[in-house]
Structure 1
Amino acid sequence: MYARSTTFQGRPVNIDAGIAFVNAEAGPMLDEIEGCRGLSMLVDRETGLCVATSSWDDEEAMRASDERLRPLRDRGRDILGGSMQVDEWEIAVMHRTHHGECCRVSWVQGDLDTMMETFRVAILPQLEQTPGFCSASLLVDRSTGLGCATTAWETRAAMEASRSSADDMRRRAASDAGGEIVDVHEFDLAYAHLHVPEMA
């Protein structure tokens, strides 16, 4: 399965308008496109950073949707009032017990096969023992060697309490993969309608 993420560096005052747009227009439109498995939206109300991610049955369905969805992305950028970056990914791991209210996203560069193995064998079991954990996914871009790991948490307090152990797990993943941590960011989960099957 595949995913397309659109990262908006918007204005904090426009976040609610962006969420309303996703609820009223973007989400329902994606639900009607063949091969789409839904949409999620992460927001940081303090910085205005937002990430909207759609999931797809296969690469062909994702690519076929691009032309149709481009005006929708442009409208989202105009509403949020900032810049936009689009990335395409292969979904390597998806494990969910239930949806949470906030997420931590880590971007790690390195050997992706090793990163996927570390994520499945070492990190997922540890996450499952962490209070407040809801779900974890790993997206990979084989053309750039970039991995994007997202963990969801029941509450902001649970996510904050997990920071120290998350730092250790992230460093291990980067070390095992012979790479580096590119960025880490925490978000509120504003829209959660992804229907990706278990892929652990």
Structure 2
Amino acid sequence: MYVRTSEVRGDPAKIDDGLRLVREEVFPAVTTMDGCAGMSLLVDRETGRCIATTSWQTEDAMRMSADTVRPLRDRAEMALGSTSGSEVHQWEVAVVHRDHAAPDGAHARLTWLSGDQAIVDRGIDLYRMVILPQIQAMDGFCSASLMVDRAAGRIVGTAAFDTRESLEASRGAAANIRTGIVRELGATIDDVEELEIAFAHLHVPEMA
């Protein structure tokens, strides 16, 4: 499985307008494209930052959809009040584990890492054997995933929790895990974000 992420900074006051467009127009359109498996939208209502993710059954399907998806992305940017466009990335899905579907009010923590190409396979093994079991044990755990860009040596891990409160309660334990990641991989933590799961229909199968 593969995913495309589109990161955009919009107007916080227009988050609901953008979400309405995603639900009513973008999601129905994108899921009719060959090889598309679903879509999700994460938002920060205070800053206006949004991350839209579409899932694809093959890398070819993802790449071939690029031109068709672009007008939908443009419309979403306009609805969200963005003036700077989107930052688009393509990823391989390496690990997915879901305890249960994300309920209304679910939130997620995204951890972005980078290094040389060698960190990717080591990072996948470390995530499966060491990190995922620790995340699963946290109160309110919902699901977790790991996406990689092998050529760029980039990794992003996502941990979803049932509520904002359970996400916040896990911050200390998550910080300890990140310290271990840096030590084991020699990677750089580029960013850590906490976002609301506003739309969750990504439909990526279990890949633990």
Q: Which TM-score bucket, shorter chain as reference?
A: over 0.9
Aligned equivalents of 1:93 and 1:173: distance in 2? Answer: 16
Matches within 5 A, 1:130-141: 130-141=138-149
Cα drift, residue 107 of structure 1: 0.2
When normalised by structure 1's length, the TM-score is 0.97
Q: Which residue of 2 aligns with 1:92?
A: 94
What amino acid does structure 2 have at the position aligned with 1:147?
I
Aligned equivalents of 2:179 and 2:120: distance in 1? Answer: 15
Q: Is the 8 A contact 1:90 1:140 kept in 2?
A: yes
% identical equivalent positions: 47
SS at 2:65's partner residue? helix
Q: Which residue of 2 aligns with 1:175?
A: 183
SS at 1:166's partner residue? helix
| 1:119 has 2:127 as partner | yes
Runs of 4+ off more than 3 Å: none
Question: Deviation string for 1:93-151 (max 9, x for gaps)?
Answer: 11111133111111011311111111100011111111100100011111211101111
Decide which of 97, 102, 121 is 2:107's aligned counterpart: 102
| 1:160 has 2:168 as partner | yes
Q: Is the 8 A contact 1:171 1:181 kept in 2?
A: no
Q: Which runs of 5+ in 1 are unaligned?
A: none
| 1:50 has 2:36 as partner | no
Aligned-pair Cα RMSD in Å: 0.9
Aligned length: 200
Matches within 5 A, 1:74-85: 74-82=74-82, 83=84, 84-85=86-87
Aligned equivalents of 1:167 and 1:27: distance in 2? Answer: 34
